[in-house]
Structure 1
Amino acid sequence: MATVALTKDNLVETIESNDVVFIDFWASWCRPCMFFGPIFEEASEAHPDLTFAKLDTEANQDVAMALQIQSIPTLMAYKGGKLVYREAGALSKSQLDQLVQAVVEFDPEAAEAAEA
């Protein structure tokens, strides 16, 4: 599955209607974003059962500000509608592969129960 283009109009629906969502916050002028983009796209093709989405921070500045995106690329991962990962910086292919596996295996409800 190719990446989904996110805007303020489909961001919440995308997160809530998919079990696992990875979001790449990027801009066309960002060199690290250009490095990470093909890696992110490759991961989306390798994991068609997961949702990979991209949000252009230049075209969606209001969303980027609301989510406090201060550096790009920033990668967020949601599982079951809950934010389970957020980090700025480009990842290598192996780092992204490890992250995808960790998010897929992560149980947010068990983590909440352990914190209680």
Structure 2
Amino acid sequence: MATTTLTAESIGQTLAENDIVLVDFWAAWCGPCRMFGPVFEASSENHPDIVHAKVDTEAEQELAAELQIFSIPTLMAFRDGILVFNQAGALPGPALEQVVQAVKELDMDEVRAKIAGQQDAPA
């Protein structure tokens, strides 16, 4: 499965309709982004069950700002619409594969309980 392009208009629906979404925030002028691109594309071929999406931070500056993207490339992983991984920097293939496996193996009931606990905690 090839990567898909996300925009401010499509990101919400994409996250809501898919179990796992990996998002690569990139820009055409970014050397590390261009190096990471083929690694991300290969992952999309190896994991057709996961949506691999790209956000061009030049075209989607408001979305990048809303999601607090301060350096690129940045990889975010969402599971059941919940952000479960967020890291700046180009990952080599084996490291990306580790992220994919870790996201697949997450106990989402535990994640939701942890989030609920944080929301219940006094400020």
TM-score (structure 1 length as normaliser):
0.96
Aligned residue identity for 2:45: E
Task: Please give the root-mean-square deviation of Cα atoms over the aligned residues, in Å.
Answer: 1.1
Gapped regions of structure 2 (runs ≥ 5): 118-123
Residues 45-71 of structure 1, C-alpha deviations (whole Å, 9 max, x = no match): 000011100000001111011111000
Shift, 1:114, TM fit: 5.1
Aligned equivalent of 1:50: 50
Say if 1:25 and 1:113 are closer, same or farther in 2 by CA, change over 3 A: same
Regions of 4+ moved over 4 Å: none
Gapped regions of structure 1 (runs ≥ 5): none
CA contact (8 A) 1:82 1:108 kept: no
Q: How many pairs does the alignment contain?
A: 116
TM-score (structure 2 length as normaliser):
0.91
Aligned residue identity for 2:43: A
CA contact (8 A) 1:84 1:108 kept: no
Identical pairs, percent: 53
Aligned equivalent of 2:108: 108
Shift, 1:111, TM fit: 2.7
Compare CA radii of gyration and give the structure with the larger one: 2
Question: How many angstroms apart in 2 are the aligned matches of 1:61 and 1:97?
Answer: 28
Shift, 1:86, TM fit: 0.3
Residue 25 in structure 1 maps to residue 18 in structure 2: no
Aligned residue identity for 2:102: A
Question: How many angstroms apart in 1 are the aligned matches of 2:111 and 2:8?
Answer: 29
Aligned equivalent of 1:8: 8
